[in-house]
């Protein structure tokens, strides 16, 4: 069967009735989509100015095939007749022709186009079963049927008619096929129904999650599906971590108070100082701040120990820290932690800042680094920053260091049972990493909320 040979005729535009049919005689099918009043108004305005350029399409029995909005525009204008083209089509062929016109005109939302394509696939494969993969008309055994020379597959035929790529067609069908009916009905008349990227993301979720995410976007809680997915998963991850933290027997020792008083009160010196103090952007006088705490902290490290101090890459901050007397520890190197995944906006007259400095100190009696993996001993540590955008849900605050970096440095410079201290513990990245590696870790922070987050992250630790 081929639509190319279908008979058609246009009502004579010069007939006594002006080449038209009575609007009251036109039969409208049940699958007709809802009228878009703004589009009908635009059509009505255009028809008043230049007339109807494209007649509607009907079957011999006056069933409407294509042109529903044009018909509504004529009704709005108070007309009783409308120009029409008559096609001698079966019910399935008529519906196929209607879908094709909508697709070619690029009408409807992204969701509607996906639904039309899914319906088109079903109709097309029913009309041309030899093109269906796995179809063997008349052969009970099943298998893959080779298409005939004069029949195209659904994808080929649709691509030829609409000008869309096969990938676009498949994505649109995925949206219509995989989003639940309940969610499709909920979003149909919203902006979300015409945002294909969001719809594709929704289609990859289970029905329950689709409902939760779409509800949060439609309500305005989140601006788009991607943001909603990440925010909700992060919220769930934090909740799971908090619940697990209640059950785990891992105890974190993080003192709430002033770091200098805490450092002076420690009962013993540490094998490792590893910390991430506030940056120059967070304190009024970086030189005064650095001199207030770093000499005290370095003095609490054994002569066999080491220290890693993470600082910003700002010139005044580097200058402030590099001029500090390190006492009995030697400032061996300025290591670099670089990242490529959270770069932010581009400055107009500077280079993008995608690195931070790590001051590396070594005691005079310190043993060799425990670093059997050569690439881990590079002075530039290239590790992505904690990032919640791609389902990792590992970033708990803005300046957090990656767990991998924390674990590397602790493994390189300590052994099990060694004492690790962090006077600026924050959300506990270094304390958690040290505890996970069976070191004895102590921390301090003046922000009680950060300490609470650190304790909630114990659930993640207990599963490692």
Q: What share of the chain is helix, strand, coil (3-state, %, to 5)?
A: 45, 15, 40
Answer whether 236's CB lies under 8 Å from 455's CB. no
Residues 302 and 428 in one domain: yes
Report if residue 154 sits inside a domain: no
Predicted local distance difference test score (pLDDT) of residue 151: 60
Q: What is the pLDDT of residue 244?
A: 52
CATH code, 27:
3.90.1530.10
Is the same domain home to 208 and 291?
no
User: Please, what is the end-to-end C-alpha distance for the chain in angstroms?
Assistant: 62
Which whole-number Å values give the CA distances from 375 to 49, 332, 334, 361, 371, in the listed order?
A: 73, 19, 17, 20, 9
Instruction: Report the CATH number at residue 270.
Output: 3.40.50.150
What integer pLDDT is reported at residue 28 of this predicted model? 84
pLDDT at 419: 97
Structure tokens at 314: 């700002």
Tell me the residue range of the domain where 84 lies: 1-107
Instruction: Say if residue 360 is in the same domain as residue 390.
Output: yes
Do 327 and 434 sit in the same domain of this protein? yes
To 5 degrees, how large is the angle CA 69–CA 73–CA 74?
Answer: 120
Residue 40: count of CB within 10 angstroms of its CB = 20
Measured distance CA(118)–CA(100) in Å, rounded: 12
At 69, list the tokens. 């909005």
**Within this chain, do residues 309 and 423 fall inside the same structural domain, yes or no?**
yes
Do 240 and 279 share a domain, yes or no?
no
Do 422 and 295 fall into the same domain?
yes
Let me know if residue 24 belongs to a domain. Answer: yes
Q: What's the CA gap between 330 and 318, in Å, rounded?
A: 16
Residue 308 lies in a domain: yes
Tally of CA atoms within 13 A in the half-sphere of 14 that contains its CB: 0
Look at residues 249, 266, 285 and tell me which one is the last residue of a structural domain: 249
Task: Based on the fold, state whether residues 301 and 227 are members of the same structural domain.
Answer: no
The residue behind tokens 């009251």 is 24
Residues 231, 271 within the same domain: no
Q: Residue 27: inside a domain, yes or no?
A: yes
Contacts 24+ apart (CB under 8 A), 256-260: 256/444, 256/445, 256/446, 256/448, 256/451, 257/444, 257/446, 258/444, 258/446, 259/293, 259/297, 259/423, 259/424, 259/444, 259/445, 259/446, 260/292, 260/293, 260/296, 260/423
| Domains of the chain: total | 3
| Domain identity same for 243 and 274 | no
Same domain (yes/no): 372, 262: yes
Q: Distances from the Cα of 39 to the Cαs of 34, 44, 168, 194, 267, in angstroms?
A: 11, 9, 25, 16, 78
42: three-class secondary structure by DSSP: helix
Tokens encoding 334: 């300025």
* DSSP letter (8 states) at residue 257: S
- Domain membership flag for residue 13: yes
Task: Specify the pTM.
Answer: 0.50
Cα dihedral angle (144, 148, 150, 152), rounded to 10 degrees?
0
Q: Is residue 84 part of a domain?
A: yes
CA–CA dist 56, 64 (Å, integer): 8
> 146 in a domain, yes or no?
no
Asked which of 249, 277, 293 is the last residue of a domain, the reply is 249
The span from the CA of 272 to the CA of 263, in Å, is 13
Domain boundary pick from 203, 224, 249? 249
* 187 within 8 A of 168, measured Cβ to Cβ: no
Residues 453, 234 contacting (CB under 8 angstroms): no
Is the residue at 279 inside a domain? Answer: yes
Number of neighbours of residue 121 by Cβ within 10 angstroms: 18
Residues shown for the chain? 464
205 lies in the same domain as 308: no
- How far is residue 164's CA from residue 172's CA, in Å, rounded to a whole number? 11
What single-letter DSSP state applies at residue 300?
T
For 167, residues 6+ apart whose C-beta sits below 8 A from its C-beta are none
456 burial (CB, 10 Å; 0-12 / 13-18 / 19+) is: buried
Q: Residue 27 has what DSSP assignment? A: B
Per residue of the chain (464 residues), what is the pLDDT tens digit? 334 444 444 433 333 333 688 999 998 877 566 777 887 898 899 888 888 888 888 888 888 888 888 899 999 999 999 998 888 877 787 778 778 877 877 778 899 888 988 988 988 888 888 877 654 444 443 444 444 445 678 888 888 888 888 899 899 999 999 999 999 999 998 999 999 999 999 999 999 999 999 999 999 999 999 989 888 877 776 666 556 544 445 567 899 999 999 999 999 999 999 999 999 989 999 999 999 999 999 999 999 999 999 999 999 999 999 999 999 999 999 999 998 877 666 778 888 888 999 999 999 999 999 988 888 899 999 988 876 554 444 656 656 898 899 999 999 999 999 999 999 999 899 999 999 899 999 999 999 988 888 887 764 443 33
């Amino acid at each position: 069967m081929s639509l190319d040979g279908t008979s058609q005729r246009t009502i004579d535009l010069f007939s006594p009735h002006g080449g038209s049919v009575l609007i009251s005689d036109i039969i409208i099918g049940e699958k007709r989509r809802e009228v878009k009043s703004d589009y009908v108004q635009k059509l009505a305005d255009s028809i008043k100015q230049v007339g109807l350029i494209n007649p509607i399409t009907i079957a011999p029995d006056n069933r409407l095939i294509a042109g529903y909005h044009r018909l509504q525009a004529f009704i709005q204008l108070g007309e009783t007749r409308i120009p029409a083209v008559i096609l001698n089509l079966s019910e399935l062929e008529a519906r196929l022709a209607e879908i094709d016109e909508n697709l070619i005109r690029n009408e409807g939302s992204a969701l509607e186009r996906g639904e039309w394509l899914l319906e088109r696939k079903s109709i097309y494969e029913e009309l041309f079963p030899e093109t269906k993969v796995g179809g063997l008309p008349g052969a009970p055994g099943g298998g893959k049927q080779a298409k005939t020379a004069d029949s195209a597959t659904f994808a080929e035929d649709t691509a030829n008619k609409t000008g869309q790529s096969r990938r676009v067609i498949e994505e649109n069908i995925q949206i219509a096929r995989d989003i639940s009916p309940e969610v499709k009905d909920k979003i149909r008349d919203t902006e979300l129904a015409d945002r294909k990227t969001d719809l594709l993301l929704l289609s990859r979720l289970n029905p329950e999650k689709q409902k939760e995410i779409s509800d949060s976007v439609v309500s305005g809680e989140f601006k788009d599906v991607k943001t909603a997915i990440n925010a909700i998963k992060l919220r769930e991850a934090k909740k799971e971590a908090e619940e697990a933290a209640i059950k785990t027997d891992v105890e974190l020792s993080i003192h709430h108070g002033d770091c200098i008083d805490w450092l002076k009160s420690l009962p013993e010196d540490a094998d490792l100082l590893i910390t991430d103090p506030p940056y120059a952007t967070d304190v009024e006088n970086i030189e005064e701040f650095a001199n207030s705490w770093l000499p005290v902290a370095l003095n609490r490290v054994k002569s066999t120990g080491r220290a890693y101090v993470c600082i910003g890459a700002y010139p005044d901050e580097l200058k402030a820290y590099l001029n500090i007397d390190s006492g009995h520890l030697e400032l061996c190197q300025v290591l670099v932690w670089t990242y490529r995944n959270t770069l932010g906006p581009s400055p107009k007259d500077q280079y993008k800042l995608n690195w931070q400095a790590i001051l590396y100190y070594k005691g005079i009696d310190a043993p060799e680094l425990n670093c059997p993996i050569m690439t881990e001993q590079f002075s530039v540590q290239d590790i992505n920053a904690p990032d919640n955008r791609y389902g990792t849900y590992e970033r708990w605050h803005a300046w957090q260091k990656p767990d991998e970096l924390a674990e590397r440095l602790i493994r390189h410079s300590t052994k099990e049972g060694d004492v690790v201290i962090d006077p600026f513990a924050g959300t506990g990245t270094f304390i958690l990493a040290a505890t996970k590696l069976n070191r004895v870790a102590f921390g301090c922070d003046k922000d009680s909320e950060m300490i609470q987050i650190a304790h909630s992250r114990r659930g993640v630790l207990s599963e490692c």
